[in-house]
Structures are given as structure tokens and as C-alpha cells.
Amino acid sequence: MTKKKIRSEYLKLRLKLSEEKYSNLNQKLCANFFSEVDLSTVHTLHTFLPIHSKKEPNTWLIIEKLKKDFPVVRISIPKVENNRLVNFYFEGESQLGKNQWGILEPISGEKTPTDKIDLVIVPLLAFDKNSNRVGYGKGFYDRFLKECRMDCKKIGLSFFEPIDELIQVDQYDIPLDVIITPSQGSH
């Protein structure tokens, strides 16, 4: 199956989730994230902000728990500038505005140096058993992950299990270290 077909199929699967199922899966993802991921050495964690209309995993649940239970971990969020991700420390929802795609992103704040990021939560639509992911196809995260330190942990969140077929990868694709799912914790 082509990446384009995988994107289309898995976006449809997500959009078919009822609000109740979507909420339930998000609760399980969040619980599994905190049970599977060792945050003891993480000083700065980067996460995407979810697009609710695409039923992306609700990273706000992770952000809220980090702020409450791990206040020493600084949270970094992305902004798209000139086809690249520029990262800012998250200071609160008042610093956010919607970009051209209707996605919340920082409109002000302190930039996060990429070399300070210890862990990245990466958006995805699907993944295979080799931890290769299919994103939305714009390459923002593949370019960003190349700039991160070699020891930076790359974690995906998925409502679904890995696809059986191996995803066709090219030289720009960066595999993830761990993928968290609602049913199994990590892959």
C-alpha cells in the first residue's frame, strides 16, 4: 500500500471514532504514555498540539499531567515558519493562536533550542512493526528530527496497532524509538 493510501485509510478510521471512543482511547494513551516512558532524565519535552478535527491524539492530557506531576519538565511546542518547525517553550494557552491550517501554535514566547530537547512526541497516522511512521506527508517532523540530538527519544502516539505491511521508507524518513498505543502500551 502506498503512503498516500495509508494516510487516507487511517485518517478515515480516526474520523469514524465516536466522541466517546475517541475520549476513551485518549485516556488510555495518556495512561500508557506515563507508565511506559521514563521521564527521569527528561528536562525538555516537545509535543505537537492536536488537531481535534482530525481526531489526533489529545496531547493536552499529557501536557496537563506534565504540568501537574512533572513541573521540572519544560514543554516545547511547534510553530511552522518557512516550511520548518520552530519550537517555543509552552507558557500557557494565552500564547497560542491559529495558523493558516487552523492549528494552534505559539504566537510569542521563548524559543526552544533544538539541542535542549530530550524527548519528542511525534504525530502519525500509521506505523509498522519497524517503527516507521506515516505522517501527513509534508515532512515537517522528519526535517525537525534530523536536527535533534542523537539521544533524543522519538515517541509516537497511535490509536491503532502497527500495520502488517512494511511502510516504504526513503532517506528522509526517521523511525521512532517507541510508539504508544491504547491497548498495548509501547511497541
Over range 52-57, report the average pLDDT.
94
Q: Is 129 left (phi over 0), alpha (psi -120 to 50) or beta?
A: alpha
Q: Are strands 44-47 and 74-81 parallel, antiparallel or unpaired?
A: parallel
Contact assessment for residue 152 and residue 116, using Cβ atoms and an 8 Å cutoff: no
- What distance in Å separates the CA atoms of residue 24 and residue 79, rounded to the nearest whole number? 28
pLDDT on residue 187:
65
Delineate the domains of the chain, giving CATH numbers in brackets.
Answer: 3-186 (3.40.50.10420)
Contact assessment for residue 165 and residue 121, using Cβ atoms and an 8 Å cutoff: no
DSSP state of 138: S
Q: How crowded is residue 115: how many other Cβ atoms within 10 Å of its Cβ?
A: 10
Written as one letter, the residue type at 93 is E
Rg (CA), the chain: 16
Q: Give tens-digit pLDDT for 72-83.
A: 999 999 999 988
Contact assessment for residue 81 and residue 111, using Cβ atoms and an 8 Å cutoff: no
Partners of 127 in beta bridges: 133
Of 173 and 109, the one with more pLDDT: 109
**Distance between terminal CA atoms of the chain?**
21
Over pLDDT 70: what percentage of the chain? 98
Q: Give tens-digit pLDDT for 6-34.
A: 999 999 999 999 999 999 999 999 999 99
